Amino acid sequence: MKNIGIIYNARVPEALDLSTAILHDLNLSENSWLAPAENMETLLSRAENTDLVITVGGDGTILRATTFTGPAGIPMVGINMGRLGFMTELQVHEAMEKLPFYFDGGSRLDERNMLQATVHKANSHGTEGPFHALNDVVLTRGEASRVVTVAGIIDGAPVTTFRADGVIMSTATGSTGYNLAVGGPILDPESDSLVLKTVAAHMGLSAAMVLKASAEVGLTLEGYQPAILSVDGIIDHPLDLGDRVELKQSPHKARFLRANPPSYFFGTLTRRLGFSIRGQ
């Protein structure tokens, strides 16, 4: 590894302190850099000359960093300063000691699938996007408390009309996020399947649907209630009546460097969710 970028959560003062220590104390190249996670659009010019990105924060910091690393194919190592840290690799107390291992090429590459969302506008007949998400894309109600009405199509076949607080499309990585909170299934993080799940369904399908990797889903906003398209909880895009959102597998991948085997995810799942294991 030659040039390393460090992306940190600017709302956590300790994140900047650790990022500064990594930059200055681990003998990184003079072209290495650090930046707050809130300014990803300013980093585009650095993509070609960055070999690795270290994130210092939590899963939210990784989601923001992925908007930069995903299209460029840059691998990441995450340091957890958040609560769950499903995607992070290291804890704060071990970061300075263990990071050189990842610089020296001793780790494995973990590639995660992403989602692509494109909005087809009903009024202008134009498109907006595509937007790319590592966790999920959520079509949800705005500030009003009324449910949204959404016509769903999978691979060109009408499925149902949802009347719900929202509809979530998540990746396997995102299955432990919002999808899990509303009763959806947990997928193996290396799975290429997609999950379609409603939030507080009033009518239509309430059970989660696990879809193949090549599935293409269309969600058309109907009824009288405008909505919001939330991409990884970072981009909130307003939707008007008649707008159609097309969802499918993204051509981009989120790439992580890992020291542990793939099975490590299951060994830490219950701990990260706060469940107890009998006998421990």
Q: Which active-site residues does the annotation give?
A: 59
CB 132 within 8 A of CB 67: yes
Assess whether the previous peptide bond of 158 is cis (omega < 30° from 0): no
Tell the residue number behind the tokens 């970028």, with chain if given: 5
Contacts with 94 (C-beta within 8 Å, 6 or more apart), sequence order: none
Q: How far apart are CA 277 and CA 280, in angstroms?
A: 6
Neighbours of 8 (CB within 10 A): 27
The CA-based dihedral angle spanning residues 73, 75, 81, 87, taken in that order and rounded to the nearest 10 degrees? 80
